[in-house]
Amino acid sequence: MKRATIIIILVLLNSIAFAQRIIENPEFEVTNSGITHISKIELSKEATRIHIHNKFIPKWWMSFEKDIFIQLDNNVKLNVLDIEGAKFDEKITMPESGEKTIVLIFPPINEGVKKIDYNNVVFGISLVEGAKKSKKSSEIPGYVSKWIDNELKKEANKPLANLSSKEFFNESTGRLIGYIKGYDVRLGFKTGIMYTHNDITREDYPVVVEIHPDGRFEANIPLTNPSYSYMVFKKSPVKFYLEPKQTLAMVLDWDEFLYVDRMRNTYNYLKNITFIGPLAKTNEDLNKFDDKPFDYKIFSKKMKTISPQAFKEEETVEYKKNLKNLEIYLKNNSISDKAKILLKNKIDLEHANHLFDFVSARDYYAKEDPANPILKIPVENDYFNFLQNLDLNDQSLLALNEFSTFVNRFEFAKPILVYPKPNEKNTSRFIPEKTFEQYLELEKIEITENDKALRESNKNKAFKSAAEVMEFQKQFSETYKNASKAYSKKYVEPFISIPKPEKVTMEKWQLRDSIVKNVFHLEKNLVYEVIKIRALDFDIKRTNTENAHAYWNELKKDITHPFLKKEGERMVNKQFPINTFQNNSLADNLNSKVNISATTLQNKLPEGKATDIFKNIIATHKGKILFIDFWATTCGPCVANIKQMKEKRKEHKDNKDFEFVFITDESLSPLEPYDKFVKEQELENIYRLASDDYNYLRQLFKFNGIPRYVVIDKKGEVINDNFPMHNFSYLLNGILEKYN
Same domain, 735 and 601: yes
- CATH number of the domain enclosing 698: 3.40.30.10
Strands 197-198 and 203-204: antiparallel
Number of neighbours of residue 506 by Cβ within 10 angstroms:
14
Residue 280: the pLDDT is: 98
**Which structural domain range is residue 571 located in?**
507-586
- CATH number of the domain enclosing 62: 2.60.40
Residue 6: the pLDDT is: 47
Rounded Cα distance between 23 and 57, Å, is 27
Structural domain count of the chain: 6
Strands 82-84 and 36-43: unpaired
Task: Give residue 95's identity as a one-letter amino acid code.
Answer: P
Asked if residue 133 belongs to a domain, the reply is: no
Residue 434: the pLDDT is: 82
Which of 416, 447, 472 terminates a domain? The answer is: 416
Task: Give me the phi and psi of 73, to 5 degrees please.
Answer: -70, -5
Best CA proximity match to 483, nearest among 454, 450, 442: 442
Strands (E) across 542-600 are located at none
Rounded Cα distance between 541 and 518, Å, is 30
Asked if residue 9 belongs to a domain, the reply is: no
**Beta bridge partners of residue 61, listed in sequence order:** 93
Same domain, 467 and 563: no
Asked if residue 563 belongs to a domain, the reply is: yes
Rounded Cα distance between 739 and 718, Å, is 11
Same domain, 359 and 230: no
Residue 8: the pLDDT is: 45
Residue 19: the pLDDT is: 53
Q: Report pLDDT digits (tens) over 554-608.
A: 999 999 999 999 999 999 998 888 654 333 333 333 333 333 343 344 478 899 9
Residue 306: the pLDDT is: 95
Best CA proximity match to 617, nearest among 705, 559, 701: 701
Same domain, 122 and 147: no
Same domain, 603 and 582: no
What residues of the chain score a pLDDT lower than 70? Answer: 1-19, 131-138, 422-430, 459-471, 495-500, 578-602
Same domain, 554 and 658: no
Same domain, 382 and 480: no
Residue 552: the pLDDT is: 96
Residue 294: the pLDDT is: 85
Asked if residue 429 belongs to a domain, the reply is: no
Rounded Cα distance between 182 and 215, Å, is 8
Task: Give residue 616's identity as a one-letter amino acid code.
Answer: N
Q: Report pLDDT digits (tens) over 460-491.
A: 666 655 556 666 777 888 888 888 888 888 87
Strands 82-84 and 30-31: unpaired
* Global pTM value: 0.84
Contact residues for 518 (Cβ-Cβ < 8 A; gap 6+): none
Which of 126, 156, 173 terminates a domain? The answer is: 126
Best CA proximity match to 36, nearest among 80, 105, 102: 102
Cα(first)–Cα(last) distance of the chain, in Å?
Answer: 90
Same domain, 729 and 605: yes
Same domain, 112 and 220: no
Using the 8-state DSSP alphabet, how is residue 387 labeled? Answer: G
What residue spans of 289-361 are helical by DSSP H? 296-305, 308-332, 337-360
Which of 448, 464, 495 terminates a domain? The answer is: 495
Asked if residue 344 belongs to a domain, the reply is: yes
Same domain, 187 and 79: no
Asked if residue 424 belongs to a domain, the reply is: no
Q: How far is CA 347 from CA 200, 240, 403, 445, 616, in A?
A: 21, 17, 11, 73, 46
Using only C-alpha atoms, the chain has a radius of gyration, in whole angstroms, of 32
Rounded Cα distance between 219 and 129, Å, is 43
Same domain, 186 and 272: yes
Asked if residue 131 belongs to a domain, the reply is: no
Same domain, 97 and 204: no
Asked if residue 135 belongs to a domain, the reply is: no
